[in-house]
Amino acid sequence: MTAAPVRVDGVGLRFGRRVLWEGLTFDLGASEFLAVLGPNGTGKTSLIRMIMGLLQPAGGVVEVNGRPPVQARSGIGYIPQHRAFDRDLPLRGRDLVRLGLDGQRWGIGGAGRKLDERVDRALREVGAAAYADQPVGRLSGGEQQRLRIAQALVSDPGLLLADEPLLSLDLASQQMVTSLLDARRRSAGTPVVFVTHDVNPVLSMVDRVLYLAPGDWAIGSPREVLTSETLSRLYGTPVDVLEVRGRIVVVGTPDDHGAHHDDEPA
């Protein structure tokens, strides 16, 4: 039996004396799509950083393909939040994607035909070939995020981690991002961990939801987790989960101001 792409066993997150969660346990299976939900400041980004080996858990074990995360980094594709590049940054789309392939290696790196071909293939896969030679800072948010996906896919990763990749994108670009990730996991069996504050753009493709609430967590299918009972238990206060025209709306959480915050403390 091969090791799970991600194994999280009894993991805790603590900042100083503040405990965010304890005993977090789940396995991610091949080609599984896991959405990580929850309000700001509950450690969604920290979980991603643990899986990448950039943050030590307070107790417990995190493994990627049966190995410590630090040793498994080369097999992870990471898609960050959209953050605009400077308009005059001398970096083309294909340069950005190329960095995802060998940017971590020392030295200048020669002009390898094989590497160029892999970059071209990744650019075509996400439909970004047309503007691959433009400076990234002059592209739209959606175009930049397409390049981000190509950058994550070009190394042929066995695991995709996306941290709020839809933030500040228009609806069409959001759909493009989610469908590209969905296509990848269907064609190559690459599991996806997808951090988001809004489950609706990915609801049709989500296998399981990990909901991180202040001080507690729950994992299961969307039908199990996104219910009034489960969320009321997590928040310790009455929370209503409504289904409106196929969209899930959560009402009554303590941070429910009807507005979303763009950033979250690590």
Question: Residue 237 corresponds to which amino acid?
Answer: T
Question: Which string of DSSP letters, residue by residue, matches 99-138?
Answer: HHHHTTSSS-----HHHHHHHHHHHHHTT-GGGTTSBGGG
Q: Is 80 in the site for another protein (CB under 8 A)?
A: yes
Between residue 44 and residue 63, which ones bind another protein under the rule CB under 8 A? Answer: 52, 54
Enumerate the β-bridge partners of residue 213.
Answer: 216
107 or 246: CB nearest another protein? 107
43 or 222: CB nearest another protein? 43
Here's the x/- map for another protein, 7-46, by CB under 8 A: it reads as: ----------------------------------------
- Label residues 22-54 b or e (16+ Cβ within 10 Å = b): bebebebeebbbbbbbbbebbbbbbbbbbbbbe
DSSP label at residue 175: H
Distance separating alpha carbons of residues 116 and 110, to the nearest angstrom:
11
Using CB under 8 A, pick the residue from 73, 129, 205, 241 that binds another protein.
73
Using CB under 8 A, pick the residue from 4, 8, 36, 76 that binds another protein.
76
1 or 106: CB nearest another protein? 106
Longest dimension (CA), the chain: 60
Q: Residue 232 is encoded by which pair of tokens?
A: 């009321």
**Residue 226 and residue 209 in contact, taking contact as beta carbons nearer than 8 Å:** yes
13 or 161: CB nearest another protein? 161
Sign of CA dihedral 186, 30, 198, 219: positive
Query: Among candidates 97, 153, 106, 167, which has minimal Cα distance to 125?
Result: 153
- Binding segment for another protein (CB under 8 A), chosen from 20-28, 84-92, 121-129, 227-235, is 84-92
CB of 115 to another protein, least distance (A): 12
Q: Is 179 in the site for another protein (CB under 8 A)?
A: no
φ, ψ of residue 47 in degrees (nearest 5): -60, -45
- Binding segment for another protein (CB under 8 A), chosen from 1-9, 126-134, 226-234, 236-244, is 126-134
Here's the x/- map for another protein, 246-265, by CB under 8 A: it reads as: --------------------
The size of the interface with another protein (CB under 8 A), counted in residues, is: 38
Positions touching another protein (CB under 8 A) are 52, 54, 70, 73-74, 76, 78, 80, 83, 85, 87-92, 95-96, 99-100, 102-109, 131, 133-135, 138-140, 148, 151, 161
